[in-house]
Amino acid sequence: MIQFELEHAHGHGIVLPELKIGLDTRFSQHLIQVISHAHADHVPHKTKRPILASPATIDLMIARGFKGDYEKLDFYTPFETDVARITLFPAGHILGSAQIFIESEKGNLLYTGDFKYPASPVSEGCFFPEKPIDIFIAEATFGLPIYKWKPQEFLDKSIVDFAKKHLNNGYTPIFLAYNLGKGQEVMHALAKAEIPMTIHDAGFELCKVYEQYGFHLGNYKKLGDSSHQGRALIIPSNALDSGSVQKISKQKVAYVSGWAALEARRQQMIIDARIPLSDHIDFYELLRVVEQLKPKKTYITHSPNPDMVCYFLQKNGFDAQPLGEHERGEDS
């Protein structure tokens, strides 16, 4: 089996010491650094060698100010080192998000990064290698049996209904959604209903990358550019306090996140609606994926309750154990 260890103290990446590969590692330590996707908690601070990632991930990172060296690696196209083969498979989390598949003489390892199955509609889909998996390292941000996502069509409809209802009543509908990934999912839903949008400036350049890769995001403009009259507003939650948003007198706020499934979020953030649209896999789909892949060994990471997923996997007869600290990504 391939040996691996957690990148302790620095980040929450994974190091394959024998193969000299780092998966979402913060520091290179003379490794080949492979980056699963462009969310900040997966992107390195400093790089000594070019990082390896999908073309869309690289373009998103550059749009967010990444200045290091890189090499773009297409999905399904193996990258050979002297001891290993690295292949990226779409992870369905955000545009460019990849699962990283490593093969070597000692066996193989599939690292999901953040993933979603069924995939986000504004991603390249979610596909797994067809070979039998030895080691499966999966994230379980929502690894509790209380998390079961509603169908995409239902959630898209909630988004559109919220926007239409409040636009009709003369309010500005505001969607609190993360700039990269969730924001574009909301836009994708609103674009289909031909609702014009205003988006947070920091998300604007990222939307251009989505469009380059063929995703239609509809009629939108930057928050900075004048009036929002008759438009839906899409901003990250920390922008709700900004002057340009506060001066909108008639507003209705929807919180779009997997965490919106929890009632407590209503009390914590003054909002008018919770729309539990996540870009992570839910508990039940995760169990199903393991059932489908039948890996020899499964490790659960990025979960507040890794033991729980393992408990159910073990009950289903799988070899599973938690991996590392209880960290959680910036997105959800």
Judged by CB under 8 A, the stretch of 87-95, 114-122, 124-132, 260-268 that binds other proteins is 260-268
Quote the CA–CA distance of 256 and 314 in Å, as a whole number: 33
CB-wise, 100 or 239, nearer to other proteins?
Answer: 239
Q: How far is the CB of 184 from other proteins (least distance, A)?
A: 20
Length of the chain: 332
Q: How far is the CB of 261 from Zn ion (least distance, A)?
A: 18
Considering the rule CB under 5 A, would residue 331 count as an interface residue with Zn ion?
Answer: yes
HSE of 86 in the Cβ direction (CA atoms, 13 Å)? 28
Considering the rule CB under 8 A, would residue 244 count as an interface residue with other proteins?
Answer: no
Residues sharing a CB contact under 8 Å with residue 158, sequence separation 6 or more, in sequence order: 273, 275
Judged by CB under 5 A, the stretch of 23-31, 107-115, 210-218, 243-251 that binds Zn ion is 107-115
Quote the CA–CA distance of 42 and 6 in Å, as a whole number: 14
Among 6, 62, 144, 248, binds other proteins (CB under 8 A): 144
CB-wise, 39 or 274, nearer to Zn ion?
Answer: 39
45 burial type by CB count under 10 A (0-12 exposed, 13-18 middle, 19+ buried): exposed
Q: Helix, strand, or coil here: 235?
A: strand
Q: Choose from other proteins, Zn ion, none: what does 272 bind? Cβ within 5-8 Å by kind.
A: other proteins
CB-wise, 100 or 195, nearer to Zn ion?
Answer: 100
Among 24, 59, 103, 114, binds Zn ion (CB under 5 A): 114
Q: Choose from Zn ion, other proteins, none: what does 144 bind? Cβ within 5-8 Å by kind.
A: other proteins
Among 169, 212, 227, 268, binds other proteins (CB under 8 A): 268
Residues sharing a CB contact under 8 Å with residue 40, sequence separation 6 or more, in sequence order: 64, 330
Considering the rule CB under 8 A, would residue 145 count as an interface residue with other proteins?
Answer: yes
HSE of 268 in the Cβ direction (CA atoms, 13 Å)? 9
Tell me, rounded to whole angstroms, the distance of Cα 203 from its chain centroid: 15
Footprint of Zn ion (CB under 5 A): 39, 114, 329, 331
